[in-house]
Amino acid sequence: MTAPPPPEILILAAPDLAAALTRWRTHLAAERRASAETVEAYDRDVEQFLRFLTEHRGAAPTIADLSDLKPADLRAFLARRRRDRAVGARTLGRNLAGIRSLARFLERREGLNAAPFRATRAPKAGRSLPHPVTAAAGLRLADAGESLAEEPWVAARDAAVFALLYGCGLRISEALGLSRRDAPTTAARALRVTGKGGKTRIVPVLPKVVEAIEAYLRLCPFVLDAEGPLFRGVKGGALSPRIVQLAMERMRGVLGLDDTATPHALRHAFATHLLGAGGDLRTIQELLGHASLSTTQIYTHVDAARLLEVWAKTHPRA
């Protein structure tokens, strides 16, 4: 059963809207299969919007109040967010996405006039390119011998996680969400990965990645249940993403990498290096689990930037 919205949201809404918020949250989790992180982010977006409307109108808004809103009201909310919190265009776009999700739900279920929500546009955000690590750095990160961890099994574990991120293009949540039974083997070098929105995909696994995982399994001091998490922390619980991030921070100093070298940068490197070696976008889209090809197309800009850099450094007339 889906948890009810946080109480701080409900007190900012009139009774009819509060009841609709509960139904919307259930719709997100059960029907749209949104992740817990997405639901939590939308909660924050709606809370900020309702807080603004309560101050703006002097009372907790009803569904009818939302239906009476004009694009100017929504632009005023975005302007307030930018002025008071100094948030960027990307954050404002995310805020507006959460509010629009609620508006679409209310339009279908409660007859809300959602036209003003569709008509309002967030400020344009500059497109930031991913910062992939080099192939050499990716390989060294997947080498347990490079690790600074004191325990050999911890070094092998970190190397196995990095190998999955760079060798398979997994998100960190996908790698840490694997169970023991999901671990690839020499005989079955493929992973069934559950990504965003509960969508599954099959990802081929390189022999070096299998070797890294098998090395970790040989050294891991814990008994791993088939249905339990594949990667464990030092106390035996599921490995936290923060621990992986800290391991990467330590390795940045060893490898001389800058601050953009994060675990997610290994996923970017996977896609960028595939594209640079002649991989086609559709295949890379499938491997990454992107719902839209436009999301994958950003890597064409990354690769073009690399080619221009090489040209500028080597061409006699550059």
**Is the distance from CB of 189 to CB of 136 less than 8 angstroms?**
no
Written as one string, the DSSP assignment of 225-252 is -TTSBSSB-TTSSBPPHHHHHHHHHHHH
Residues assigned a catalytic role: 171, 196, 264, 267, 290, 299
Cβ neighbours of residue 115 under 8 Å, at least 6 residues apart? none
Please tell me the distance from the alpha carbon of residue 250 to that of residue 245, in angstroms, as a whole number.
9
Contact 272, 307 (CB under 8 A): no
Mapped onto helix, strand or coil, the DSSP state of residue 92 is helix
Q: Give dist(CA 211, CA 199) in Å, integer.
A: 27
- Cβ distance 193 to 285 under 8 Å? no
**Alpha helices (H) along the chain:** 7-10, 15-26, 36-57, 63-67, 71-85, 89-110, 115-119, 135-141, 152-168, 172-176, 207-219, 241-255, 263-276, 281-288, 293-296, 298-314
Q: Phi, psi (5° rounding) for residue 171? A: -70, 155
